[in-house]
Structure 1
Amino acid sequence: MNNIIEVKNLKYKYDQSDEKYTLNGVSFHVKQGEWLSIIGHNGSGKSTTVRLIDGLLEAESGDIVICGDKLTVDNVWEKRRQIGMVFQNPDNQFVGATVEDDVAFGLENQGLPLEEMQERVSQALDLVGMSDFKKREPARLSGGQKQRVAIAGVVALRPNIIILDEATSMLDPEGRLDLIQTVKEIKDRYNMTVISITHDLDEVALSDRVIVMRDGQVESISQPHQLFIRKDLLDLDLDRPFTAELVDQLRQNGLDLPDRYFTEEELEESLWALLSNK
């Protein structure tokens, strides 16, 4: 699997008079078609990292390679077309009077023919389940509906990469999971690459890999099941999974369960197997 993004030794600070760097030697890669989550406490450098990848900020040193090309001042606008970014507050992204106008905005800027634009808008709204709301004003939608429209606006542009910058943090748990499942379906259908900054366990669980950031550096890169057995998740602003806590208690009470992460279904099967053998 090819790397669609390579981040090499990034350094950045917002105020040049500061001695401490916001990012200090950050390096990692993102594979084509994978879902990469980035977690860490506030101020760890998560959002700064993705803003550098999207060209919203410029690194003091280090390289960012996107689709084989080094990100430069000369190609930043071209590279930004390959990336769709969804922020925490969708109200900051709305520009159209209606939902369909808003989704069409980016396509109009690209000068797409009207017929193709209408087809893409219709398809994107259908993908996120918002076709029935195309004539509504974005301001009158719920939080989850607004985020769906923001995602539709990104998907209509057909980017190679979608970045979710805490895009689900303002939603309730049910709306959050529903939205993430929708993004996963879109990702799988179009083989898109997703980078997600999140504090949400369900979002992390869908990832192929997880980067933990701490004090402007990459502390670790692992798969979700490896992350979930760590004892310091609360320190990373991430709740420990219910099954991980339960397995710890069951092992302390004498049940012979391996020290690894279980989904609820896996734990249920393992417990049935253990009890059946007694």
Structure 2
Amino acid sequence: MKHIIDLKNVSFRYDTTVDEYQIDSVSFHVKQGEWLSIVGHNGSGKSTIVRLIDGLLEPESGEIVIDGIPLTRETVWENRSKIGIVFQNPDNQFVGATVEDDVAFGLENQGIPREEMLQRVEKAVEQVGMSAFKDREPSRLSGGQKQRVAIAGIIALRPQIIILDEATSMLDPEGREELMKVVRTLQSQFQLTVISITHDLAEIALSDRTLVFKKGRLESSMTPRELFSRDDLNQIGLDKPFSKQLQETLSEIFPLKQDYLTESELLDQLWEFL
């Protein structure tokens, strides 16, 4: 499977007069259609790296390649058209008086013909389950509904890559679960590449691979299962999954496997003993 994103020895600092780099010689790739989670403490470089990928920041050194095209000042707009970002607070992204107007905004900026624009808007709103709300004001929607509208605005533009920048952090558990179902369905339907900056364990569990950042450096790349098996999750800003906490408690009674187990796997092992 081809690489949709390649970073090679990328470094960046906000203040070039000091020696502290926010991103320090980072290299990694993202495969087309992959779901990649990026985790780490606040200040570890997570948000900075996605802003470099989107061309909102320019690296001091190194190379970023998007879909085979090096990211430069000349290609930044072409590359940015392949990427959609959903931020933590969707209110900061709304510009339209209604859901329909808001989803259409990006298409109008791209000069999409009106008939095609109307079709794309209707389809995008339908795909995120918001057709019944297309005439509503975005500000009157719930947090989960607002994020769905934000995603619809991006889907209408038909990007190859979606970046979720702490997109579920302001939602309740039900809202997070609903939003992740929408993203997973869209990813499967359109072979989207998803990059998720998150502390949410359920969101991480959906990903194919996880990058761990520490102090501007890429500390490791691993599967969610490998990540959840680590003993130092608190040192990278993550809680222990509930099933792991329960597994550790029950291990005092039952000879359970020591590797990370999902809730269903833990239940299967307990059934064997009972």
- TM class, shorter-chain normalised? over 0.9
Deviations 1:159-185, CA, capped at 9 Å, x for gaps = 000000111111111111111111011
Instruction: State the secondary structure of the residue aligned to 2:251.
Output: helix
Letter in 2 for 1:84: G
Alpha-carbon deviation of 1:258? 1.8
Q: In the TM superposition, what is the alpha-carbon distance from 1:273 to its structure 2 partner?
A: 1.8
CA–CA distance in structure 2, aligned partners of residues 10 and 235 of structure 1? 24
State the distance in 2 between where 1:100 and 1:112 align: 15
- Look up the match of 1:260: 259
Paired residue type of 1:257: L
Identify the residue that residue 158 of structure 1 maps to in structure 2.
Answer: 158
Which aligned pairs between 1:137-148 and structure 2 lie closer than 5 A?
137-148=137-148
Q: Which amino acid aligns with 1:191?
A: Q
Cα RMSD (Å): 1.0
AA in 1 matched with 2:72: T
Matching residue of 2:238: 238
Cα shift at 1:262: 1.4
Alignment of 1:25-44 (within 5 A): 25-44=25-44
Q: Secondary structure of 2:21's match?
A: coil
Match of 1:116 in 2: 116
- Specify the SS of the correspondent of 1:252: coil
Match of 1:183 in 2: 183
CA distance in structure 2 between the aligned counterparts of 1:72 and 1:252, rounded to whole angstroms = 56
**Greater shift after overlay, 72-81 or 140-149?**
140-149
Q: Which runs of 5+ in 1 are unaligned?
A: none
Amino acid at match of 1:44: S
Counterpart in the other structure of 2:167: 167
Q: Which deviations, in whole Å up to 9, do the C-alpha atoms of 1:178-237 show, x marking residues without a partner? A: 111110110011000000000000100000000010000011110000100111112222
Query: Whole-Å Cα distance in 2 between the matches of residues 146 and 70 of structure 1?
Result: 34
Q: Distance in 2 between matches of 1:62 and 1:108?
A: 35
Distance 1:260 1:68 in 2: 38
Map 1:171-250 to 2 at 5 A.
171-250=171-250
Amino acid at match of 1:233: L
Q: Does 1:87 align with 2:83?
A: no
User: Comparing 54-63 with 89-98, which one deviates more in the overlay?
Assistant: 89-98
Using the size of structure 1 for normalisation, the TM-score is 0.96
SS in 2 for 1:234: helix
- Structure 2 counterpart of 1:237, one-letter code: G
Which residue of structure 2 lines up, in the alignment, with residue 269 of structure 1? 268
User: Residue in 2 aligned with 1:75?
Assistant: 75
The structural deviation recorded for 1:144 is: 1.2
Q: Tell me what 1:5 maps to.
A: 5
SS in structure 2 of the partner of residue 105 of structure 1:
helix
How far the C-alpha of 1:256 sits from its partner, in A, is: 2.4
4+ aligned runs moved over 3 Å, structure 1: none
For 1:152 and 1:172, the matched residues in 2 are separated by 20
* Paired letter, 1:154: I
1:235 & 1:156 partners in 2: Cα distance?
39
CA distance in structure 2 between the partners assigned to 1:61 and 1:165 by the alignment: 24
Partner AA of 1:261 in structure 2: Y
SS of the residue aligned with 2:84? strand
- Any idea what SS the aligned residue of 2:177 has? helix
- The letter of the residue matching 2:32 is Q
Kindly state the Cα deviation for residue 149 of structure 1 after the two structures are TM-superposed: 0.5
Tell me the amino acid that sits aligned with residue 129 of structure 1: G
**Shift, 1:4, TM fit:** 0.6
Aligned-residue offset at 1:3: 0.8
Deviation at 1:252, TM superposition (A): 3.0
In structure 2, give the amino acid aligned to 1:272. W
Question: CA–CA distance in 2 between the matches of 1:235 and 1:146?
Answer: 32
SS at match of 1:19: coil
How far apart are residue 116 of structure 1 and its match? 1.2
Q: Deviations over 1:8-59 (max 9, x none)?
A: 1111011112221001011111011010000000000000000000000000
- 1:273 is paired with a residue whose SS is helix
3-state SS of 1:37 partner = strand
